[in-house]
Structure 1
């Protein structure tokens, strides 16, 4: 009943975001009200079913063909199956040809450092005609964070802000086995604007000290005793 109240008409089962991440995403979408949105990594459609309530048109990309049969697709959503390497550029081209501004992107697919870096840099090929947000899930995870920090954000002169800890990550309680934990969750956020960046870009890590402590603790949780 709580989910029905806070997240009406959203697929919450198998949605691998914490409640605070979901609320943060809801806040971003309700403020942005995207004309065009791109989701890289669909899984069971949790975030997609939320985004579809705010965006006019969405393209969801996933490498797993099973996505097509996991949930009922909203009428404003197109699902494309294949590699993000191929499909992100195609999606950016589609929005441009359709004259639909791309205002919101969620990257939540390949969580390897190389995969995250690749997907970010593919999205950064886009030159926004309206304000645009790029959200990246699991920014607290060491590999994901490495990919975010390694991406060449400065290559796109429309990037004005990158915050790795818009929502900080955490040690996932159910991952704690044999006194070891895994760090997941967190939302990084980038802001792009049609106006060119006026000066140097600083990649912000608002919870850097906390995240470094988590990275130190997670391999051996016995130190917390």
Structure 2
């Protein structure tokens, strides 16, 4: 099967990413080859079992105590159960204490605007010395996107740009009716490195027009903020 060819050894069942998101994630990981990686939101371990094939050491965080029983955790993953508010600062401190740079973060947990903002601002407390890519799943969803756009990205002087539509979201087929649909998916991307930024960071919505058209196809959803 195609999935077995593209994603050997990856937990594919209940992995809630579309094929193009999975390929995009694979491409970023293959280029980054992160030494330290952080995943916030694990669910059934789809993205985590992929990241484990490229990263040296991963700390994975989920609030659901049933997560450890759902899949065999890779040997280079430290799976921690609890709130991101408590565990993300601990994870960042652990990477620093070990002298291990954080090069990759995937955020795919609480999809409320407040939850997305909280998790991103926890990560933005980190001051990188090497390139760091932060991916945000479901950036096409209105609530998730509001959270992304509400973040004070400029507060971290090492943040250079954000693209809400690194991979655009889409209307989920099974959720569409004659009058409504749900927009999910998409990967937002933030890039940081050891250089201190000059001026304001660039905040992009590179597929904004397409996303707004999707919202018009789902008229019960709130239109994106300008």
**TM-score, normalization: structure 2?**
0.96
Give 1:64's aligned residue: 64
Q: Which moved more, 1:144-153 or 1:198-207?
A: 198-207
Aligned mates of 2:4, 2:179 — CA distance in 1: 35
Distance apart, 1:20 and its partner CA: 0.1
Q: Is 2:30 the partner of 1:30? A: yes
Q: Is 2:102 the partner of 1:106? A: no
Q: Secondary structure at the match of 2:58?
A: strand
Distance apart, 1:177 and its partner CA: 3.4
Q: Secondary structure at the match of 2:136?
A: strand
Give 2:200's aligned residue: 200
What does residue range 40-119 of structure 1 map to in structure 2 within 5 Å? Answer: 40-119=40-119
Q: Secondary structure at the match of 1:79?
A: strand
Q: 1:172-205: CA deviations, max 9, x gaps?
A: 0011135321000000000001011122112100
Q: Which moved more, 1:34-43 or 1:199-208?
A: 199-208
Aligned mates of 2:118, 2:48 — CA distance in 1: 21
Give 2:18's aligned residue: 18
Q: Secondary structure at the match of 1:96?
A: helix
Aligned mates of 1:134, 1:32 — CA distance in 2: 11
Distance apart, 1:37 and its partner CA: 0.2
Q: Secondary structure at the match of 2:60?
A: strand
Distance 1:145 1:220, change over 3 A: closer
Give 1:2's aligned residue: 2
Give 1:170's aligned residue: 170
Gaps of 5+ in 1: none
Backbone CA RMSD of aligned residues: 1.1
Q: Is 2:187 the partner of 1:187? A: yes
Moved over 4 A (4+): none
Q: 1:126-175: CA deviations, max 9, x gaps?
A: 00011000000000000000000000100000001100000000000011
Aligned mates of 1:155, 1:200 — CA distance in 2: 10
Distance apart, 1:212 and its partner CA: 1.2
Aligned mates of 1:124, 1:83 — CA distance in 2: 17
Q: Secondary structure at the match of 1:65?
A: coil
Q: 1:65-113: CA deviations, max 9, x gaps?
A: 1001000010000110000111111110010001110000000000000
Aligned mates of 1:201, 1:104 — CA distance in 2: 19
Distance apart, 1:215 and its partner CA: 1.6
Q: Is 2:132 the partner of 1:127? A: no
